[in-house]
Amino acid sequence: MNIQKLQRLVIDALEDVKAQDIKVFNTTDITSMFDRVVIASGTSNRQTRALASSVADAARAQKIPIVAYEGQDTGEWVLLDLGDIVIHCMQPEIRRYYNLEEVWGAKPVKVKLLPQSTSQHDNWVSSEDDFDDEDIE
C-alpha cells in the first residue's frame, strides 16, 4: 500500500473514533525508519486506547503488519507502529508536555480532515476538499 493510501487509512480510522487535533508530518528528511508521524489527541484514557484500536483494526483488515503497539495499559499515550507510519494517540496534557510536533514537525503534510479533527489554531490544515494529500513545501 502506498504511503498516501496508508496515511488515509490511519486518518479515517482516527476520525471514526472522534480523534481531535490530528497532525501528520513527513519524516523522510529526519529518519529512514518511517515516512510519516501522525499525532492525535483523545479526551480520556479510554478514547486514546480506542483511537489506537481503531487504527490497529483497520490495519489488520488490510493485512498491514503492526510492528509495535504500546501504552494500552495506561492509555495516556498509545503508540502504534505500522512500519511506514508511526501513530501517537495522546491525551492533551501528555501531548503538550512531550511536544512531539517540535521533534517531528518540520514538514507538515496537507490532509483532508473533518472539522472536529482539527485544532482551531491550525492555519495550514483545511477541512475542505480543495486539495489532495501532499507535502507542504
- Give 95: exposed, middle or buried? Use CB within 10 Å, 0-12, 13-18, 19+: buried
In which band, very low, low, confident or very high, does the pLDDT at 93 lie, cut at 50, 70 and 90? very high
Summarised one tens digit per residue, pLDDT across range 42-61 is 999 999 999 999 999 999 99
Angle between helices 3-16 and 45-61 (to 10 degrees): 140
| Residue 22, in any domain of the structure | yes
| Residue 109, in any domain of the structure | yes
Query: What distances in angstroms separate CA 53 from CA 3, 16, 68, 79, 113, one per listed residue?
Result: 20, 11, 12, 10, 19
| Residue 134, in any domain of the structure | no
| Residue 125, in any domain of the structure | no
Range of the domain at 98: 3-114
Q: What is the pLDDT of residue 107?
A: 81
| Residue 23, in any domain of the structure | yes
Summarised one tens digit per residue, pLDDT across range 11-41 is 999 999 999 999 999 999 999 999 999 999 9
Q: For the domain that residue 19 is a member of, what is the CATH number?
A: 3.30.460.10
How many structural domains comprise the chain? 1
How many whole angstroms from its chain centre is CA 77? Answer: 12
pTM of the predicted model over 0.85: no
